[in-house]
Amino acid sequence: MSSGTLAGQVAVVTGGASGMGAATVRAFIEAGAVVTLVDRDEAGARRVAHETGAVVVVGDVSDPEFCDGSVDAVVATHGCIDVLVNAAGVIHRAAAPGTDDDDWRRVMSVNVDGVFYMSRAALRHMAPRGSGSVVNFGSIWGGVGAAGVLAYCASKGAVHQITRSMALDHAVEGVRINAVAPGHIDTPMLVSERDTPPTAADLEELAEATIPMKRLAQSDEVARVVLFLASEEARYVTGAIVPVDGGISAG
Ligand SMILES: NC(=O)c1ccc[n+]([C@@H]2O[C@H](COP(=O)([O-])OP(=O)(O)OC[C@H]3O[C@@H](n4cnc5c(N)ncnc54)[C@H](O)[C@@H]3O)[C@@H](O)[C@H]2O)c1
């Protein structure tokens, strides 16, 4: 068996083809886990898998049958699921008048339904076994509102409440459920879904104006916190929403 914080642990990471999900896959593999990467972006998933040795399952986390099937397949292959990380997410940048029904449903179906479907599928195995850990991706915008990202803020508020409520439901069974609440992280999502993508200078200005630490984070700085929450190092931590935001939420 390999050594490391997650030695021999069976982990599933959604959204593992890009950004913080991909950084989590790398961190988990380095920590000794056997990782299945779930993403709808097949090419991106295969790139990360080639680099890390993760197993790829291509699909859409907003499809409940896919979620049940992919988790059941991991358990059938490896005998259990120890860790689930829900990193898959999408954003729509608009206030209510610029958010049509499809925009709203798309954000809710991935960010909220996807977290629920994947977690439910994993908990069906973790709860009877009496062990396991789920780490969700919330956001600083799950705790406070932000202008121009209505559906996204609503979805991340729901992720924070799913995290707390599931933690209470499963604490007695020994299954822990936590979330990270990232601030502004340097990933493809940060510049996506905008009419004019921000330049490097725009992002520096944003950091200078809004982040106490005066810089964006890199994905691996969030993945380290995910690794901690997923591991036995955090064995007395459940229902926590951990900010990884360079100090924004302290203000
Ligand atoms: N980047 C930020 O500043 C920031 C801040 C706070 C929270 N977050 C959250 O962190 C998580 C990771 O974001 P990121 O910035 O790394 O984004 P990203 O866009 O780099 O990666 C998101 C991944 O999710 C996958 N995905 C999207 N919809 C999917 C679906 N229906 N089924 C399966 N996979 C799907 C994408 O293909 C992609 O690989 C997201 O939940 C995001 O909302 C990001």
Q: What is the pLDDT of residues 191-203, one digit of tens each?
A: 999 989 899 999 9
| pLDDT, tens only, 21-38 | 999 999 999 999 999 999
Task: Give percent of the chain with pLDDT exceeding 70.
Answer: 99
**Which atom number of ligand 1 is nearest to the Cα of residue 110?**
31
Q: Where are the domains of the chain?
A: 10-250
**Which atom number of ligand 1 is nearest to the Cα of residue 141?**
6
The tokens for 84 are: 């689930």
- Is 236 catalytic? The answer is no
178 has pLDDT over 50: yes
pLDDT number for residue 90 = 98
**Which atom number of ligand 1 is nearest to the Cα of residue 62?**
31
pLDDT number for residue 2 = 55
| pLDDT, tens only, 79-101 | 999 999 999 999 999 999 999 99
Whether pTM exceeds 0.95: yes
| pLDDT, tens only, 119-161 | 999 999 999 999 999 999 999 999 999 999 999 999 999 999 9
115 has pLDDT over 80: yes
CB distance 246 to 215 below 8 Å: yes
Q: Which residues line ligand 1 (CB under 6 A)?
A: 14-15, 17-21, 39-41, 44, 60-62, 87-90, 110, 114, 137, 139, 182, 184-185, 187-190
In the block, tokens 């992280």 appear at 185
User: Ligand 1 centre from 48 Cα, in Å?
Assistant: 15
pLDDT number for residue 103 = 98
Fold of 10-250: Rossmann fold (3.40.50)
CB distance 20 to 223 below 8 Å: yes
Mean pLDDT of the chain: 97
Given 152, 179, 230, 245, which residue is catalytic? 152
Average pLDDT value for residue range 241-249: 98
Core vs surface per residue 70-109: b (16+ CB within 10 A) or e = bbeebbeebeebbbbbbbbbbbbbbeeeebeeebbebbbb
CB distance 29 to 53 below 8 Å: yes
* Minimum CA distance residue for ligand 1 atom 19: 189
**15 or 4: which leads in pLDDT:** 15
User: Ligand 1 centre from 115 Cα, in Å?
Assistant: 12
pLDDT number for residue 1 = 44
User: Ligand 1 centre from 188 Cα, in Å?
Assistant: 8
Average pLDDT value for residue range 46-58: 98
